[in-house]
C-alpha cells in the first residue's frame, strides 16, 4: 500500500519512490524550467533500497510517483547462517529470515536490529 502520490516537482533528496515495482531513494535532483510554453523537467538519480542499483531519469514536472509506506520495526536476531539472519519481531513475535546487508556491521545472535518493511520487501538497516 502506497502512502501517497506526489508530482515530480514535489520530490526532494532523500524521498522514497516506487520505480518499476520496487522502492528507490532519491540521491540527486535537478529541476529545470523551460521557455514560455514549455514544461518543467526534473532530472533525478535514485538508488534501489534493496539492491543499491542506480537509475537516472528525466521526467516532466507533472509526472506522478507513488511514495511507499516505510514501516520501521525492531527484532531480535535468533541465529545466523552464512549471510542470512533469522530474527523475531519485537511486537508481534513473527519469525523472519533476512539477508544481512554489506554496510551493516555488528549483527550477531541476541542483538536487536532495526529492519524496514517497504511494500512487502524487508531489509535489515542497522544494529540498535
Q: What is the pLDDT of residue 1?
A: 62
What is the spatial distance between Cα 104 and Cα 114, in angstroms, rounded to a whole number? 11
Low-confidence residues of the chain: pLDDT under 70: 1
User: What is the Cα 8 distance to its own chain's centre?
Assistant: 17
Domains and their CATH numbers in the chain: 2-68 (2.30.30.30), 70-127 (2.40.50.140)
* CA 12/CA 101 separation, integer angstroms: 25
Nearest CA-CA partner of 85 in 72, 95, 99: 99
CA-closest candidate to residue 115, choices 78, 77, 80: 77
Give the pLDDT of residue 35. Answer: 78
- Supply the pLDDT for residue 101: 86
| Rounded Cα–Cα distance for residues 111 and 28 (Å) | 34
pLDDT at position 120 is 84
Amino acid at each position: 500500500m502506497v502512502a501517497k502520490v506526489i508530482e515530480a516537482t514535489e520530490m526532494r533528496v532523500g524521498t522514497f519512490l516506487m520505480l518499476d515495482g520496487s522502492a528507490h531513494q532519491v540521491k540527486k535532483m535537478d529541476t529545470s524550467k523551460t521557455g514560455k510554453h514549455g514544461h518543467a523537467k526534473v532530472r533525478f538519480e535514485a538508488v534501489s533500497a534493496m539492491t543499491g542499483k542506480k537509475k537516472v531519469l528525466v521526467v516532466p514536472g507533472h509526472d506522478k510517483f507513488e511514495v511507499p509506506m516505510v514501516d520501521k520495526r525492531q527484532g531480535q536476531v535468533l541465529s545466523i547462517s552464512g549471510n542470512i539472519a533469522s530474527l523475531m519481531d519485537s511486537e508481534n513475535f513473527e519469525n523472519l529470515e533476512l539477508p544481512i546487508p554489506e554496510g551493516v556491521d555488528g549483527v550477531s545472535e541476541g542483538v536487536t536490529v532495526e529492519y524496514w518493511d517497504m511494500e512487502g520487501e524487508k531489509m535489515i538497516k542497522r544494529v540498535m
